[in-house]
Amino acid sequence: MKYYTLIFILLLGFTSCKSSKKVTNNSSIIKKMSARKVAKKHISSNFDEKTIDARLKVNYKDNKEKIGFSVRMKIKKGEVIWLKGTKFITVFKAKITPTKVQFYSPYYKNYFDGDFSMLKKMLGTDINFEQLQNMLLGQSLLNVKSQRQEIIIKDASYQLSPKKQASLFDIFFYVNPQHYKLDGQSIVNPLKNQRLDIRYPKYSTKKGVLFPEKIIINAKEKEKFTNINLTTRSVEFNKKLNTDFKIPNGYKEIKL
C-alpha cells in the first residue's frame, strides 16, 4: 500500500470523537418534511468550534492487505489540517491549507508539495479546502441550500440529492432526523463503476458539542475495494495548536 494513497482516502472522511454520552441513529418512524427545511436544519447543525486536536485509531483493508495504525489530527478551522500517522515510528506527516497540499514520509524518505489540482486528478472532480474540511467534520460535501434538493426517506434517514446532479457523479446525503447531522454521504460514478460511501454510525456529545464517534469509509472501483474504520481515542476543542511543518532536506519528490 502506498501511504500517500491512504492519506487521500482518509481525507474524504476523516473525523471522529469519543465521549461517554452516545447518540445513535433513529430507527423510529420519521415525519415528513420538505427538502428545504431538512437542508436548513442540517446547515444549522454545523460544527462551530475553532480547533480540533484528536488522536485516532485507523484500520485499513483492501484487496491485498490489512493494516492498523494511529493518527494525530489537528484542525484550525478554515486554515489548516495537520496529520501525523504512526505505527511504532512516524509513517507520514501531512499539512493541507486552502492553497497547499503537502506531505512527507520519514520511513520512505520522500515527499509531495503541491496544490488541490492533484486532488482533482485523483478524484476526477474539483474539490477545495472548505469541502474537504466539511467532510472531515461530518458535514455535507456540497452546500445543500445552494441548489434545489429532492428528498425521500430511506433507511431511517432523510436522503437529500441535488435535483440537477453533476455531470461526472451523483451525490447523496443522509440526514439524521434527530439531530440533523449526517448519517452518511455517497458519491457514485456509474460510468466508471466507482462508489464512495462514508457512514457515521454513532455520535457523541463532548462538552455540549455533537460530533461523530466512528466513521466507516467504503470505496469500490470495479473489482477493487477499500475499507477504512476510524475511531477516536481522545479529542479536545478550542485549544492552542502547533501545526509547524517542514519537509526535511534530502527527501525524494513524489510525482503524482
What's the pLDDT score for residue 235?
84
The whole domain housing 233 covers 3-250
Whether residue 255 lies inside any domain: the answer is no
Whether residue 40 lies inside any domain: the answer is yes
Whether residue 143 lies inside any domain: the answer is yes
Give CA–CA dist 68/87, Å, rounded. Answer: 8
Q: Is residue 158 packed enough to be buried (19+ CB in 10 Å), middle (13-18) or exposed (0-12)?
A: buried
Whether residue 235 lies inside any domain: the answer is yes
What's the pLDDT score for residue 30?
85
Tens-place pLDDT, residues 170-202:
899 999 999 999 999 998 888 888 888 889 988
- The type of residue at 118 is M
Q: Domain of 90: which CATH number?
A: 2.50.20.10
Whether residue 256 lies inside any domain: the answer is no
Q: What is the tally of structural domains in the chain?
A: 1
Whether residue 210 lies inside any domain: the answer is yes
Tens-place pLDDT, residues 29-70:
788 999 999 999 999 988 889 999 999 898 888 888 888 889
pTM value is 0.81
Q: Is residue 127 packed enough to be buried (19+ CB in 10 Å), middle (13-18) or exposed (0-12)?
A: middle
What's the pLDDT score for residue 193?
83
What are the residues whose beta carbons fall under 8 Å from the beta carbon of 152, sequence distance 6 or more?
158, 159
What's the pLDDT score for residue 126?
64
**Helix, strand or coil, per DSSP, at residue 135:** helix
Nearest to 185 by CA among 17, 62, 12: 12
Chunked mean pLDDT (size 10), the chain, 256 residues: 54 36 53 93 90 90 85 94 91 92 90 80 66 80 86 94 83 93 89 85 81 83 83 88 95 86
What's the pLDDT score for residue 173?
95
Kindly write down the DSSP assignment for every residue of 45-100, as one continuous string.
T----SEEEEEEEEEEEESS-EEEEEEEEEEETTTEEEEEEEESEEEEEEEE-SS-
Percent of the chain with pLDDT over 70: 85
What's the pLDDT score for residue 164?
85
What's the pLDDT score for residue 3?
56
Whether residue 166 lies inside any domain: the answer is yes
What's the pLDDT score for residue 64?
82
Give CA–CA dist 234/83, Å, rounded. Answer: 15
